[in-house]
Amino acid sequence: MKIYIDGKFYDKENAKISVFDHGLLYGDGVFEGIRFYNGRVFRLEEHIARLFDSAKAICLDIGLSAGELTEALLQTIRLNDLRDGYVRLVVTRGDGDLGLNPANCPRATVVIIASKITLYPADKYENGLHVITCATRRIPHGALSPMVKSLNYLNNVLAKIEAQQAGAGEGLMLNEQGYVAECTGDNIFTVKNGRLFTPPISSGALAGVTRSAVFEIAAEMGIPMSEPEMTRYDIFTADECFLTGTAAEVIPAVQLDSRTIGNGTPGPITKRLIARFHELTATTGTVIYQ
Ligand code: PXG
pTM here is: 0.97
Q: Identify the domain boundary among 79, 94, 115.
A: 115
Q: Which of 187, 242, 273 to mutate to test the pocket of ligand 1 (most atoms within 8 A of CB)?
A: 187
Instruction: Identify the residues whose C-beta falls under 6 Å from ligand 1.
Output: 33, 156, 182, 185-187, 206, 208-211, 244-247
Those residues whose C-beta lies under 8 Å from the C-beta of residue 56, and which sit 6 or more positions away, are: none
**Terminal CA-to-CA distance of the chain, rounded, Å?**
22
Count how many Cα atoms sit within 13 Å of the Cα of residue 282 in the half-sphere of its side chain. Answer: 6
Characterize the bridge pairing of strands 170-174 and 129-133.
parallel
Exposed/middle/buried for residue 101 (C-beta within 10 Å: 0-12, 13-18, 19+): exposed
Q: Each residue's pLDDT tens digit in the chain (290 positions)? A: 999 999 999 999 999 999 999 999 999 999 999 999 999 999 999 999 999 999 999 999 999 999 999 999 999 999 999 999 999 999 999 999 999 999 999 999 999 999 998 778 889 999 999 999 999 999 999 999 999 999 999 999 999 999 999 999 999 999 999 999 999 999 999 999 999 999 999 999 999 999 999 999 999 999 999 999 999 999 999 999 999 999 999 999 999 999 999 999 999 999 999 999 999 999 999 999 98
Please give the Cα distance from 211 to 213 (Å, whole number).
5
State in Å: Cα 89 to ligand 1 middle: 13
- The reply to whether 179 and 278 lie within a common domain is yes
Q: Looking at the domain assignment, is residue 148 inside a domain?
A: yes
- Which ligand 1 atom lies nearest to the CA of residue 88? 22
Q: Which residues pair with 171 in a beta bridge?
A: 132
CATH of the domain at 159: 3.20.10.10
Buried (b) or exposed (e) across 265-276, using 16+ Cβ within 10 A?
A: bbbebbbebbeb
- The reply to whether 169 and 277 lie within a common domain is yes
State in Å: Cα 246 to ligand 1 middle: 6
User: What amino acid occupies position 284?
Assistant: T
pLDDT at 120: 83
pLDDT at 117: 83
CATH of the domain at 37: 3.30.470.10
Please give the Cα distance from 55 to 110 (Å, whole number).
12
Please give the Cα distance from 229 to 234 (Å, whole number).
10
- The reply to whether 101 and 173 lie within a common domain is no
The yes-or-no answer on residue 56 being catalytic is no
Q: Which of 186, 217, 243, 280 to mutate to test the pocket of ligand 1 (most atoms within 8 A of CB)?
A: 186
- The reply to whether 186 and 258 lie within a common domain is yes
Q: Looking at the domain assignment, is residue 203 inside a domain?
A: yes
- Which ligand 1 atom lies nearest to the CA of residue 32? 21
Query: Residue 258, by phi and psi: left (phi above 0), alpha (psi -120 to 50) or beta?
Result: left
Please give the Cα distance from 119 to 35 (Å, whole number).
12
- The reply to whether 110 and 126 lie within a common domain is no
- The reply to whether 110 and 212 lie within a common domain is no
Q: Which residues pair with 35 in a beta bridge?
A: 86
Which one, of 218, 44, 18, lies nearest residue 98 by Cα?
18
pLDDT at 119: 77
- The reply to whether 158 and 185 lie within a common domain is yes
In which element (H, E) is residue 53 found? helix 44-57
Of 16, 149, 160, 192, which is the active-site residue?
149
| Strand, coil or helix: 3 | strand
- The reply to whether 19 and 70 lie within a common domain is yes
Q: In this structure, how many other beta carbons lie within 10 angstroms of the beta carbon of residue 286?
A: 16
- The reply to whether 88 and 216 lie within a common domain is no
Q: Identify the domain boundary among 97, 115, 133.
A: 115
